[in-house]
Amino acid sequence: MNEAEKWDALTYRTDRRGKTRHTNIGFAKRGKGDVINIKFESLPIPNENGEVWVTLVPYNPDYAEEGNAETYYR
């Protein structure tokens, strides 16, 4: 599998200072056909509205385990 077919699974939260931070909770990879499989290494926590959002971003072997959202969105 090439790295173009693998993604990091992230959740985002805003800290007390208003800064958006991400947490890597697993990864996704392309399966057979049009299937994308997601492996959660931890479970996301719902936001204040009870919603759980998971964002898939291209795999980055140099990601920080937890850090600033600017790591992915420059």
Judged by DSSP in three states, 71 sits in helix
Contacts of 17 by beta carbon, 8 Å cutoff, 6+ apart: none
**Maximum pairwise Cα distance, the chain:** 43
Contact of 7 with 27, CB cutoff 8 Å: yes
Res. 48 pLDDT band, cuts 50 70 90: confident
Q: What is the pLDDT of residues 16-30, one digit of tens each?
A: 899 988 899 999 999
The two three-digit tokens of residue 49, written as one number: 């509205």
Q: Map out the domains of the chain as residue ranges.
A: 3-60
User: Which residue, chain included where needed, has tokens 């200072």?
Assistant: 17
The two three-digit tokens of residue 12, written as one number: 């985002």
E strand or H helix that includes residue 54 = none
